[in-house]
């Protein structure tokens, strides 16, 4: 069941992703969550983040060869994963 | 994938028909005399001359097919309708390359045997040449406006002034070059290379062409602006490719239409400096369509992974 804090985490991931994927960010993250974590975007939890970041890394490497930007993007997401408890 | 197949199937049919007409239609007597050619040599020369154009058509059909695929992939998103319109516009641009050429071959063959039909060939050729960019630029312009409004962007007063200045200069030079061919002593005189009375030429060709080019140039600017201002590093890279390609396609097609309407169609093959210039511009058009296809492919990839 979706809660306000879970929604917030999803929104935070989308916000970070927006810097890299612009208007496609929301759709991209929703697809990663649904296809690889087999959850609805609203159900995304802190414990899913590391796995999600791995899948995002794989997905983005199919879009670009620029490993520097991929790492920068992943490190921005990792900051969210390391953030304490409620996100 | 279906859309690429459908576009490439259309391309194959059009190209096949085009080459068939080149081989089967009777040779133009005037060209044969001018270049001292036999009928077989004429057909071979025509085939070789048209070959690069057919390559440009391929780039155009491939480009619009890729854009259609991307538009279909994001059809349910807020940007979907705008990209669908953009794809329709590009489809009209692509079809606007082979259809007038096919028609010119057919009408030219009729005029070759019935001299009285020559004026009709020129008139029909000019109107068909106008129809495709007019429809295409209308769709592309609508799409550009929609994307601009969605992104809450607009150009500055200085940019608007620059666009107006460039357009006024192009328009005035265009009118000057056209009016040189006309007998301006009588507004109803049609003894000119366009075979139209001056008033009809102004209303039905000059004004629609200027309108089409204006909205075409504005659309190119709108889409380039969106690509520059949009957020998302990867998305922007792909959109810049698409927008750059589209701007190149629009600018080069306008250049070709400009040259073709200032120097009316002769109805027969004539290898001249203008002819070579048009080919060079068409090469840039093909490059534009390929850039557009590359951008659309990358954008689609973003929606797939």
CB < 8 Å to A60, chain B: 234, 305
**CB-CB under 8 Å, B305 with A18:** no
Q: Which residue spans within chain B are E strands per DSSP? A: none
Band (B84; pLDDT cuts 50, 70, 90): very high
Residue A23 in contact with partner chain B when CB distance is under 8 A: yes
B39-77 residue pLDDT tens: 999 999 899 999 999 999 999 999 999 999 999 999 999
Is A87 a member of any domain?
Answer: no
| Residue A64 DSSP symbol | -
Is A22 a member of any domain?
Answer: yes
CA distance B252 to chain A (A): 30
Is A37 a member of any domain?
Answer: yes
- CA pair distance B280, A19, nearest whole angstrom: 39
pLDDT at residue number A86: 47
CA distance A86 to chain B (A): 27
Q: Which helix (H) or strand (E) holds B58?
A: helix B39-73
Do B23 and B11 contact (CB within 8 A), yes or no?
no
Is A76 a member of any domain?
Answer: yes
Residue A63 in contact with partner chain B when CB distance is under 8 A: yes
- The residue segments making up the domain with residue A69 are 4-82
By Cβ distance, the residue of A20, A31, A62 closest to B232 is: A20
**CB-CB under 8 Å, B303 with A27:** yes
Which residue, chain included where needed, has tokens 């005037």? B30
Quote ipTM for the complex: 0.87
Instruction: For B231, name the nearest residue in chain A, comparing CA atoms only.
Output: A22
Please give the backbone phi and psi of residue B303, each rounded to the nearest 5 degrees, phi first. Answer: -80, -10
Please give the backbone phi and psi of residue B93, each rounded to the nearest 5 degrees, phi first. Answer: -65, -45
As a whole number, mean pLDDT of residues B231-256 equals 94
**CB-CB under 8 Å, B298 with A18:** no
B120-167 residue pLDDT tens: 999 999 999 999 999 999 999 999 999 998 888 877 888 889 988 999
Instruction: For A36, name the nearest residue in chain B, comparing CA atoms only.
Output: B305
Residue A33 in contact with partner chain B when CB distance is under 8 A: no
CA nearest A13: which of A51, A53, A43? A53
- What is the count of structural domains for chain A? 1
Percent of chain B with pLDDT over 70: 96
- CA pair distance B238, B298, nearest whole angstrom: 6
Residue B152 in contact with partner chain A when CB distance is under 8 A: no
In this complex, how many residue pairs, one in chain A and one in chain B, have their CB atoms less than 8 Å apart?
53
Residue B183 in contact with partner chain A when CB distance is under 8 A: no
Q: What is the pTM of this model?
A: 0.89
Is A26 a member of any domain?
Answer: yes
Residue ranges covered by each domain of chain B: 2-304
CB < 8 Å to B234, chain A: 20-22, 60, 63-64, 69
């Amino acid at each position: 069941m979706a809660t306000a804090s879970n929604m917030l985490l999803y929104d935070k991931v989308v916000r970070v992703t927006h810097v890299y994927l612009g208007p496609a960010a929301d759709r991209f993250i929703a697809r990663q969550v649904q296809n690889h974590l087999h959850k609805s975007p609203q159900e995304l939890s802190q414990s899913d983040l590391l796995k999600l970041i791995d899948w995002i890394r794989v997905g983005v490497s199919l879009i670009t060869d620029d490993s520097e930007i991929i790492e920068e993007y992943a490190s921005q997401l990792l900051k969210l994963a390391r953030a304490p408890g409620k996100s | 994938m279906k859309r690429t197949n459908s576009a490439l199937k259309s391309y194959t049919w059009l190209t096949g028909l085009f080459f068939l007409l080149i081989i089967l239609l009777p040779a133009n007597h005037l060209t044969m005399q001018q270049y001292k050619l036999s009928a077989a040599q004429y057909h071979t020369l025509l085939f070789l001359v048209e070959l690069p154009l057919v390559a440009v058509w391929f780039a155009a059909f491939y480009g619009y097919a890729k854009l259609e695929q991307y538009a279909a992939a994001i059809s349910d998103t807020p940007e979907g309708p705008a990209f669908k319109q953009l794809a329709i516009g590009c489809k009209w641009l692509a079809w606007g390359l082979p259809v007038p050429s096919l028609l010119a071959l057919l009408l030219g063959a009729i005029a070759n045997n019935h001299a009285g039909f020559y004026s009709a060939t020129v008139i029909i050729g000019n109107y068909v040449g106008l129809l495709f960019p007019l429809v295409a630029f209308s769709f592309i312009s609508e799409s550009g406006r929609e994307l601009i409004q969605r992104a809450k962007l607009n150009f500055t007063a200085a940019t608007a002034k620059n666009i107006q200045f460039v357009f006024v200069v192009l328009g005035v030079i265009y009118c000057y070059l056209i009016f040189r061919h006309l007998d301006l002593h009588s507004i109803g005189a049609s003894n000119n290379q366009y075979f139209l009375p001056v008033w009809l030429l102004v209303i039905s060709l000059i004004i629609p062409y200027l309108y089409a080019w204006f909205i075409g140039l504005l659309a190119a600017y709108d889409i380039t602006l969106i690509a520059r201002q949009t957020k998302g590093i990867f998305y922007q890279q792909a959109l810049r490719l698409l927008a750059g390609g589209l701007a190149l396609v629009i600018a080069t097609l306008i250049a070709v239409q400009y040259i073709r309407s200032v120097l009316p169609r002769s109805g027969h093959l004539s290898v001249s400096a203008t002819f070579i210039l048009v080919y060079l511009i068409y090469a840039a058009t093909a490059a534009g369509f390929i850039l557009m296809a590359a951008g659309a492919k990358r954008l689609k990839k973003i929606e797939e992974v």
